[in-house]
Structure 1
Amino acid sequence: MAAPYPPAGEVHVIPETFRLYLTLPEGRAIVYPVRIGKDDLYEPGTYFVGAKKEWPSWTPTPGMIEREPEKYAKYEESGMPGGPGNPLGARALYLFTEERGDTFLRIHGTDDPNTIGRAVSNGCAGLINEHMIDLYARVPMNSRVVLHPHMQGTTISGNNG
């Protein structure tokens, strides 16, 4: 009988514990602390890694501009080139679905470690850059990614920490 573990090579984000698991053989995993999307911007579901980028450029989504124009509108046209200070950090895994293609959700780095362990992002999962560089090297294209739903009866707010 097979063990009740996910197959090796998958990424799983558990929102209540702010942890990302990269599954390994024999039920083992590498665990990274993460930040997640705030409020209803966390979008549980099953995805696959449709692109990987080192020092990616960044452009805010229309939803980000609508929610906080004072913060994001200035980047609407030209975005921000990759490099230190970029919101996507040192590396990014781009989450896709068969139905939607690019979902604009990412697992990416951050240079702000104070956000780890909190629900503060615009939907993406974030790791400190050092952890993201490690994860990026271990996760191949087309890997399965599961953003698990919140446990029934729990809510995650931007003030967790």
Structure 2
Amino acid sequence: MKRRIFLTGGSAAVLAACAKSEPKPVATLPSPAMQMLPARYGAINDEPFPIPAVPQGVVPPDLWRQEVKNPYPDQSPGTVVVDPDRALLHLIQKDGMALRYGVGVGAAGFAWNGAARMQFKRKWPRWTPPDEMVARRPDLEPYSIANGGMDGGPGNPLGSRALYLFQNGQDTLYRIHGGCEPQYLGQAVSSGCIRLLDQDAIDIYERVPHGAAVVVLPSVWKEGARGIY
């Protein structure tokens, strides 16, 4: 991972993962005729807060959670591999397979890459914007570090679940979390982190153990050439 992730400016950019900006498409996946969403994307009503169903016709099948052939055979089972350019996350399984999830990424995700560990995870996590972000967005002052952050629940940018990534015992401030609005899946809408649909965030939360390896691939995207590899 690049050392600048630990600098104040870089940290603020990454933790601002949760503040959306103008959406930009990331993946250049095919757009087949929409199919009916699987039942796993229905409403969830047994959580502390209700999670609405993903609307039909918004998320293309390529971005649905699904089992696929493992594209990273050099990675051990249990490893999480994130490809920011293709807006995909793979959880490596045994027997040559992987679980693939569609994600939303942030602009900072194109510059951040390397290996980390999933140090801990939280259900309905608290979100605390950094002071630098509050300075730019005074409306976030009620959720500042000094004020204790934002409670988990509807409206919290981290959504239903969050996985916290560390390197060499230090918090990278990089998260894999829920809260991605379906219409922004596969797009860059913020300044960092990896966002999943809440249904998928709950699923991966249950599958990824503490200490799991996480690899964020370097981006090869260049302005005006998105999707060219």
| TM-score, reference length from structure 1 | 0.84
C-alpha contact 1:20 1:32 (8 A) present in aligned 2? yes
CA 1:80–1:136 in structure 2 vs 1: closer, same or farther (change >3 Å)?
same
C-alpha contact 1:35 1:116 (8 A) present in aligned 2? yes
Whole-Å Cα distance in 2 between the matches of residues 40 and 135 of structure 1? Answer: 20
SS at the partner of 2:95? helix
Aligned-pair CA distance for 1:42: 4.8
Map of 1:85 onto structure 2: 155
C-alpha contact 1:46 1:97 (8 A) present in aligned 2? yes
Percent of aligned pairs with the same amino acid: 39
Map of 1:132 onto structure 2: 201
Map of 2:62 onto structure 1: none
Tell me which structure has the larger Cα radius of gyration: 2
Deviations 1:113-159 (A, max 9, x none): 122111122311000000000000000000001111102xx2379x9
Whole-Å Cα distance in 2 between the matches of residues 132 and 94 of structure 1? Answer: 13
Whole-Å Cα distance in 1 between the matches of residues 181 and 93 of structure 2? Answer: 28
Does 1:75 find its partner at 2:75?
Answer: no
**1:25 alignment partner, one of 94, 105, 113:** 94
Query: Which letter maps to 2:165?
Result: L
Number of aligned positions between the proteins = 153
Aligned-pair CA distance for 1:40: 6.5
Map of 2:13 onto structure 1: none
Aligned-pair CA distance for 1:24: 0.6
Map of 1:155 onto structure 2: 222
Deviations 1:45-80 (A, max 9, x none): 1110111100111101234335x4245334212311
CA 1:156–1:62 in structure 2 vs 1: closer, same or farther (change >3 Å)?
farther
Q: How does 1:16-55 map to 2 (within 5 A)?
A: 16-39=85-108, 42-55=111-124
Aligned-pair CA distance for 1:21: 0.3
Q: How does 1:112-131 map to 2 (within 5 A)?
A: 112-131=181-200
C-alpha contact 1:36 1:125 (8 A) present in aligned 2? yes
C-alpha contact 2:109 2:191 (8 A) present in aligned 1? no
CA 1:71–1:26 in structure 2 vs 1: closer, same or farther (change >3 Å)?
farther
Whole-Å Cα distance in 1 between the matches of residues 148 and 165 of structure 2? Answer: 22
- Write 1 or 2 for the structure with the bigger share of strand: 1
CA 1:45–1:85 in structure 2 vs 1: closer, same or farther (change >3 Å)?
same
